[in-house]
């Protein structure tokens, strides 16, 4: 079994994700091979909260150009985690 810190790579802090925090929804960049159950268990272990639902999406990397050369950014996976109503908030996001 993988470590929870191997599943959750980093939080995503954008204007849209900060607005969703009012509804107890938090956004994370996660490992591409992680499934919803692994993400749920990792968030519960790291932040000591109760997770109600996990939505995941695969984000394709953007095409980038440097002069005549074409390249692509790496693809990644995003997870939106919804906490239960009686759960505490994640304190990591409080100061932002």
Specify if 22 maps to a domain: yes
**pLDDT at position 76:** 97
The closest of 25, 27, 23, 24 to 11, measured between CA atoms, is 27
Q: How many domains does the chain have?
A: 1
**pLDDT at position 96:** 64
**pLDDT at position 49:** 95
Specify if 53 maps to a domain: yes
**Tokens (6 digits) for 92:** 């990591």
**pLDDT at position 12:** 94
**Rounded mean pLDDT of the chain?**
93
**Cα–Cα distance between 54 and 40 in angstroms, integer?**
7
Mean local confidence (pLDDT), 35-63: 96
Domain that holds residue 80: 4-85
Please say if the pLDDT value at position 95 is more than 70.
no
Task: Write the CA distances from 67 to 49, 70, 73, 79, 87, integer angstroms.
Answer: 48, 8, 16, 34, 50
Q: Phi and psi (nearest 5°) for 8?
A: -90, 115
Please say if the pLDDT value at position 5 is more than 90.
yes
Contact 50, 84 (CB under 8 A): yes
CATH of the domain at 50: 3.30.70.330
3 by DSSP, 3-state: which?
A: coil
Summarised one tens digit per residue, pLDDT across range 48-57 is 999 999 999 9
**pLDDT at position 2:** 84
């Amino acid at each position: 079994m993988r470590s929870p810190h191997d599943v959750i790579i980093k939080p995503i802090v954008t204007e849209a994700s900060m607005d969703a925090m009012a509804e107890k929804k938090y956004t994370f960049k996660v490992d591409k091979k992680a499934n919803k159950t692994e993400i749920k268990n990792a968030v519960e272990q790291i932040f000591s909260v109760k997770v109600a639902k996990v939505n995941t999406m695969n984000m394709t990397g953007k095409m980038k150009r440097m002069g005549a050369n074409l390249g692509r950014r790496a693809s990644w996976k995003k997870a939106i985690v919804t906490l239960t109503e009686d759960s505490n908030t994640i304190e990591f996001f409080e100061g932002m």
